[in-house]
Every structure is written in C-alpha cells, then in structure tokens.
Amino acid sequence: MLKVEGISVGYGAIEVLRDLSFTVPKGKVVALLGGNGAGKTTTMNAIAGLIPLRGGEIYMNGERITRQASHKVFAAGISLVAQSRELFPEMTVRQNLELGVLAQTGVSDVVARVEEIYEMFPRLRERAFNRAASLSGGEQQMLATGRALMARPKLLLLDEPTTGLAPIIVSELQKIIRAVNERGYTVLLVEQNTKMALEVADHVYVLRRGGIALSKPRSEIVDTQEIFDAYLS
Amino acid sequence: MGFMTLLTAGLAHGGLYALVALGLVLIYKTQGIVNWAHGELLMVGAFSGYTAFVLVGLPYPLAFLIAVLAGALLGAVMERVAFRGIVHEHHATLALVAIGFSVIIKGLARIPFGADVYTLPPAVDAGPLRFAGAIVTAQSVLTITISVGIALMLLAIFRYTRTGRQMQATQQNLNGARIVGVNTGRIFSITWALAAAVGAVAGLLAGPTSLLYPDMGSEFLLKGFAAAVLGGFYSVTGAIVGGLLVGVIEMLIGGYISTAFQQVSPFLIIIIVLFVRPHGLFGRRPVERV
Amino acid sequence: MDRTAIMKKPLIYGGLAAALLAVPLLTNGYTQYVVNLVTVYVVLGVGLNILLGYAGQFAFANAAFMGIGAYITAILSSQLGLPFWVCIPAAGVVTALIGTACAVPAMRMASIYLALVTFAFAELMVWVFINWKGVTNGSNGIGVSAPDLFGYVFRGDQRLYYLLLPCCLTMLWLASRILKSYIGRSFVIIRESEIVARCNGIDVSRTKMIAFGLSAFFGGVGGALFAYTVGLVLPQSFGLFQLVIHIAIVVLGGMASLAGAIIGALLLTTLPEFLRDFQSLQEVMFGTALVIVAIFMPRGIAGALTRFGILPREMLVRGIVRERRPVATPGRDQDLEPIGVGVTHD
C-alpha cells in the first residue's frame, strides 16, 4: 500500500534520513521502532508532506505522492496523528472531529461518522462540548486519533501515541489500535515503547541513524533482545 | 456640537477603523504577519472606486464591486508573491516587505494622481438626518450599517461555511490544519483577499468624509492599529468594538479637549492599552510556555 | 603565528585610514554631504542593530531617539552656545536615559506589541516636536551652529567630515567592544531564548534595559551628528520615513552584523540620492528594492556575503549562527495556544 523508496531528509547540514526504504502492506499494522534521534517523526512528517524531501520517492497505492502538498497527501488517503496531537485548541471536541472530514468534499454522513468515533471513544462523547485545550493528555490522544479516523483514511500514521500517557492508558491504546486495524485500517505506528508496539504490530522495522537496521515479521521475533541489539548495533 | 452628534460621528469614523482593524487581525491571526501596507489597500480601494465612479462614470454599485475586487486581488497577490515564502523570517523582515509594498503602491498611485487631492461623492445623496438630538449624515448611517453588516457577515462565514471553518482551523493550528487536509495556501490567499476587500470597502466609505490622496492610508492604518490593539489583536469582535471605541474616543477628545490631542489619540490609546491591558479588551492573556 | 599576517594587519588598517581621510579630496560639496550622511547613518544603523539584530527586540523607537538627540544638540549648541564635545555626549546620555525607560514595556510584551507601542511612542515624539513650540520652535525647526574646536570651525561639509569620521569610527569601535563582551553575548542569548538566558543566570530585565539604553545612546549620538550635518532640525525629519530607513539599513544590510550596518548605511543613503529626480518612480524603485532584497536575502546583504565566504562570519558566541529550518513551523506567535507545540524532530 505505502512504498517508501530511498528517501533522504535533512535540516541544514544535518541529514536525518539517509536513503530510507520500507513498505506498509494493506490491512497490516507496521511498527517503526527506534531510539531518540533515529528519525522516526521525521519519517512520518515526510510521508504526510509536511517537510520537503531531499531525495527518494513515496508511493501510495502506486500513486506517486512525493513532493505533494500535505492536502494532496491527505486526499490520497493518508492521515497523520502527530506526536504533538496538533488539535485546534479553541474548538470543541466535536468541532475538532468535524474538521477531520471538512476538507473532503461530498461527505454527507458527518453526523454518523462522529457517532462512530464516539462509539469507539466514549470519553469523547462526554467531553463533546469542551474546548480541546481543556482535555487531558489521554483525551487529546483519543481526539487526535478520532479526528484522523473521521476521514476514513486508507492509511493511518500514528506518531508515538504513548508519549506522555499513563501506563493504564497505554494498554487502552493497544486495544484501540487493534480495534482500528480490525475495522480494516492500515496502520503505520512509530513508537519508543517497544513492548506496546510488539503487542500490536504485524511487522517491525527498527530505525537507526536514519536507516533501517532491522526488518522482521512479528511472528519471527522470539526474543526482544534482538530489537534492542538492532537499536544499539 | 452636542454629545449625540459627536457620538454618531465617532461611530461612523469608528466603523471605518473597525474595518481596517478587521483586516489586520485576520491576517495576523492566520500568518502572524502585521500588514503595514494595509492603509494602502484602503487607498487603492478608494481610488479604484473614484476611477470607476467619477472618471469612467459607472453606476455606484458597479464601482463599489470593482473597488472591492481590485483591493482583494492586490492583497492576494502580495501574499502569494512575497509573504508566503518568507513567513518564517523575522518580524522586522516581514515589516520591511510590507513597508516596501506600501511605498511601491503609493508611488504607483502618484503617477496618475500626482500630489492633488480628490473627493469621492457620497454613496447616498440625501440631507442630514436628525436623530435623538443628533445631526447625522446619510453617509454616516450607511458607513455604520455597512461596517456592522460586514462584521456580522465575517462572523457568519467563520461559523457556518466550510472555508470559514478551515480558516479558523488554520488560525488556531497551522500544522493541525495541514494534517486534516486543509489547503493552507488557498486559505492564505482567501484571508488576504478578504482582509484587503474589507479594507477597500473602508476606503470607499471614507471617500466622502476624508479626502483622497496617495498618502491617505497611513492615518487609517494607525487608527486600525489602535482599534486592533484595543480589541486584543486576535479577536474579530474585538476589532469591531475597538474600532468603534477609537472613533468615539477620538471625536470626544476633539470635541471636548482639543484637536491637537485628537491627532495623537490613537497613539495614546495604543500606549495606554499595551501598558494597562496588553492583551486588549477581548484577547486572552498570553501564556508563556517553556 | 604567521609573520606576514602580523605585518599585514596594520598595513590594511593604515591604508583604510588614509583612504577614509582622503575622501574629501575627491568630493564636491554635495557628494561630501552624502558621504557625511553615510557616517551618520552608520552610527544610527549600528544603534538599531544592537537592539533589533543582536538583542532581538523589535522596537520602532529609533527615529524618535535620533530626533531627541538632534533636538538636544540643536538647543544646546545654538541657544546655549555649548561646544560639540558637550552637545554630542549630552545628546547620547539623555537619549540613553529615555531609551532605558522605553525598556519597561519590553519586559512585559513581546514582538509585535513592542513594535506597536514603540511605534506609537515615535509618532508621539514627532507630535511633541511639532507642538511643544516653546522649546522646539514647532514646524519651523531650530538651526544648528557649526561646531568648533579651539577656534577651528568645522564649517562646510568637507571640514565637518573630519569631525564626523572620528565620531563614527569611535562609535563603531565602542559597539564592537561591547558586543564582544559579556553583555553583548547576553543580548544574543536573550534573542535566542529568554528562558535559556534566565537559566544561565542572565538578568533579562537588566540586560534588556542595557540594550535599549545602548541603542538609544547610539541613536542620540547619531541624531546629534545628523543635526550638525543638516544644520536645521525639523520635526518632520523623524517620522515614519526615517524609521523605514533605519529598519531598511539593518534588515537589508544584515541583522546582527556591524558590517551589515555599514553596508546598509552606504546603500540607503546613496541610492535614494541617485533617484532624487523622479519622485514617484523613486518610491516605486525604493519599495521594490526593499521587497526584493528582503525576499531573496532575508539575512541581508552581509548575510549573503558571509554565505559566499566574502565576509568573515562575525562570531560572538560559537554555534549561535542560525540556519533556516526547512520545516513546517507553525506560526511564530503560538504562545497563545495552550496545546500543540508543532512538528517535533526526534
């Protein structure tokens, strides 16, 4: 579904991603693991069209989305849930959700979609008319995820959803990712929380210094030590 | 002059300042740019209207439309050509580009119009009205009505239209807007076009009361700043209320204290507001984050 | 150390000094007047650059500082008959005190609010110059008598140059000394992050006051030199257009660069003189130049020259040189939104 071919990204003299390639197959949950500074968030932002590439190509279902503006990437069916959540602080939860689909034309079932999100995250229904700025970290993460799902994307990019969340909410999040995947969404998950990622992922990549250090189906990983070795090698 | 007369005259002037402030606030909220060339957009509106109405002899509504479109186009072009690429640069660089545009536009206006002063006849040709002990010109009534009408229209656009809500989203979180697929470039263009169009309307409405000359914009820019600061620089409602207040304060100072003080009232308002209540009447207190 | 390098340095400086001293031999009255203006604007440009470029305070009050300095000089010299070596420092010191007071709003507000309040202050000062007729003689202005030193009168632009040049060089030397000192480095740190500055034990309020005071001192001295150069101090000289010239000198020349202030002053004093004959066309070309340079050289001419290795990098603190980030940065003034920090790089 998503094919990343040899992309490079840099800020000034610093090269963050070097010739990075990987694929995300349809219907799967793919985890991209790596330590601080490995280039995980940069990869996500590059796919979403938020930062320019220095080289390489990105394809979505065979369609070239390299160097497309972010709204074109969105139209191709990719929704990002940013690590920093990027909510609209002065809007209510409901308005935030509605904006998730506002840029798509010809959507007539906004109310039904909002209802669907509320089913998935009952907490959001309770806080429907509160300002996004007043939500707790876990609620903000739910809202950001829900807002992305409003567009019914073909591919959901989840950037470190566990950042700043209490452990109990992390396990909640695992369930949510599984549920989302069961509804047919393809998920690319970026995580530092290896344990959590291994719980949900079908395939694991380890990113190190802007390149892939390990690529393995989840079923073939017997010992998590293997992952940590790849982090540090 | 009686108090009521001063008050209504102040409201009429204030309506114009409110329109200028609206444009400034819209642009600032969306891109963090202070448009120091906003007064010139007003001047272009006034002179386009003058050309269409007086020189070409078109009917007033058509002239009005032409002026608004001219302003909108100029605003959108300025954003696209200059500001979009440098929006992350220092405020001083942005200010300099805006001032550069202001100088260019004034220079261009001087080529056909020179150093002369022009007058734009009022939109409605009717005698002064008497209203609750005040003498009100028909133009004043029109100005107040149109200003308030435009403000309400903008608020409705923000609340009820798809584009308006995308504009709000872009103002609140640019990256968030990009993530949910908003074409932010389009939003920038629309914002500038809208802000400039509103400024051009102010120019047309100002025509009959103030004279038309290439430098006419700077005075309105100052008062627009005062209005925007009073309203908190982030709030559409604030801009309207701020504008009306600046107009009234200015008239009352002129009527009861002295005209010399009337000239500096916008500066005094800016200084006093920023010292006493920097976030204005409608702004929220800024939060410093680490 | 390389011996030739040691030999070379005084040679270069000596040559430069000789060239600068010889300038009046090549000029007529008018071109010398323009050259004199350049020396004045170098001082003014350095003054604003200290505040805007180094300390990062976006204040618009420099034309007012210049005006205050000019009026003090005019009043002291022509009405009290005081000599220039009293007038110029007095203009600098009084203006510096006023400038320090202007730092008070800077402690409470950031970026554009500071710009607006100082802008209002500047316009208010013009109004004071016009309306405080008893002191400023209103719109008629005050004449300034030519300065003299032990009977030698600096009358005429060529002679005046020999007063302006040492003043300008002294101010430049002073600026470079201050900016390379602890206080100059504190300015830069405050510009980059007030929080970091506080964490490093820098008294932010005090440093801002010093930056404003220093900038105003240069503005006041620049105003004094301006008064001697033009000979007649008029309130209209210190309005918005003056301000635009100052900002243009700093931004086009190059922010946070002394060489930039010199380049900017040279350019913005001489260019408009060439275009003098075409009023409206001059405006159009001047405006276009501002827009184009700001768009294509956002770091100014000095910044561009540094990038191509023509000018050496001016180093106050190692590693402070900022590169433009090719990132989707949310608006600068995001301090109002309580959530969302923008794209983070991991």
Q: Which two tokens stand for residue B252?
A: 């009352």
Mean pLDDT of chain A, nearest integer: 90
| A233 neighbors A38 (Cβ within 8 angstroms) | no
Q: What is the pLDDT of residues B4-38, one digit of tens each?
A: 888 888 999 999 999 999 999 999 999 989 999 99
Angle, CA C20 vertex, CA C158 and CA C51 arms, to 5°: 95
Q: What is the pLDDT of residues B47-87, one digit of tens each?
A: 999 999 999 999 989 999 999 999 999 999 999 999 998 88
The Cα C285–Cα B56 span in angstroms is: 29
Least Cα separation, residue B89 to chain A (angstroms): 16
Least Cα separation, residue B23 to chain C (angstroms): 16
> Closest by alpha carbon to C220, among C26, C339, C78, C88?
C88
Cβ of C116 within 8 Å of Cβ of B274? The answer is yes
The percent of residues above 90 in pLDDT, for chain B, comes to 60
Residues 6 or more apart in contact with residue A182 via CB below 8 angstroms: none
Residue type, C42: V
Helix ranges restricted to H, B51-125? 60-78, 84-86, 91-113
Cβ contacts (< 8 Å) between C335 and chain B: which residues? 286-289
Residues 6 or more apart in contact with residue B181 via CB below 8 angstroms: A70, A71, A74, A75, A103, A104, A151
CA distances to A170, B167, B265 from B260, rounded to whole Å, are 67, 41, 9
**pLDDT-derived band at C153, boundaries 50, 70, 90:** confident
Report the residue of chain A nearest B167, measured CA to CA: A99
Cβ of B172 within 8 Å of Cβ of A148? The answer is no
The Cα C251–Cα C289 span in angstroms is: 12
Strand B129-131, strand C148-149: pairing: unpaired
SS3 state of residue B210 = coil
Cβ of C343 within 8 Å of Cβ of A36? The answer is no
The percent of residues above 70 in pLDDT, for chain A, comes to 99
- The structural domains of chain A, ordered by start, are 2-87+138-232 (3.40.50.300)
Q: What is the pLDDT of residues C204-226, one digit of tens each?
A: 889 999 999 999 999 999 999 99
ipTM: 0.90
Where are chain B's structural domains?
A: 3-215
Residues 6 or more apart in contact with residue A181 via CB below 8 angstroms: A27, A28, A29, A187, A200
| A153 neighbors A78 (Cβ within 8 angstroms) | yes
The percent of residues above 70 in pLDDT, for chain B, comes to 96
The Cα B150–Cα B71 span in angstroms is: 16
List the A2-11 sheet strands across, edge first.
Answer: A14-24, A2-11, A55-60, A63-64
| C238 neighbors C66 (Cβ within 8 angstroms) | yes
SS3 state of residue A185 = coil
Q: Which two tokens stand for residue B124?
A: 């409605």
Q: How many CB atoms lie within 10 A of CB C224?
A: 33
Q: How many CB pairs under 8 A join B and C?
A: 160
Given phi > 0 = left and psi -120 to 50 = alpha, else beta, which region is A77? left
The Cα A137–Cα B172 span in angstroms is: 19
Q: What is the pLDDT of residues C115-133, one digit of tens each?
A: 888 888 888 999 999 988 8
Cβ of C337 within 8 Å of Cβ of B233? The answer is no
The Cα B71–Cα C211 span in angstroms is: 40
Q: What is the pLDDT of residues C246-304, one digit of tens each?
A: 989 998 898 888 888 999 999 888 877 766 655 778 888 888 988 998 888 878 888 88
Residues of chain A below pLDDT 50: none
pLDDT score of C339: 32
The Cα A197–Cα A2 span in angstroms is: 19
- Find tokens 């500066």 and name the residue: B267
The Cα C55–Cα C60 span in angstroms is: 14
Q: What is the pLDDT of residues B127-178, one digit of tens each?
A: 777 776 777 888 888 888 999 899 999 999 998 999 999 999 999 999 999 9
Cβ contacts (< 8 Å) between A51 and chain C: which residues? 326-328, 343
Interface residues from chain A to C (CB-CB < 8 Å): 11-13, 16, 36-42, 45, 50-52, 70, 82-87, 89-90, 132-133, 140
pLDDT score of B284: 66
Least Cα separation, residue C224 to chain B (angstroms): 26
Q: Which helix (H) or strand (E) segment is A187 a member of? A: strand A186-191
Which residues on neighbouring strands pair with residue B130, listed in sequence order? B135
Residue type, C16: L
Report the residue of chain B nearest A84, measured CA to CA: B176
> Closest by alpha carbon to A148, among A202, A189, A208?
A189
Strand C152-153, strand C148-149: pairing: antiparallel
Q: How many CB atoms lie within 10 A of CB B69?
A: 16
pLDDT score of C41: 95
Cβ of A84 within 8 Å of Cβ of C340? The answer is yes
Cβ contacts (< 8 Å) between C247 and chain B: which residues? 92, 95-96, 99
Cβ of C340 within 8 Å of Cβ of A86? The answer is yes
Where are the extended beta strands (E) located within chain C?
142-143, 148-149, 152-153, 232-233
- Where b means 16+ CB within 10 Å and e means fewer, B205-235 reads bbbbbbebbbebbbebbbbbbbbbbbbbbbb
Q: Which two tokens stand for residue C193?
A: 């992050």
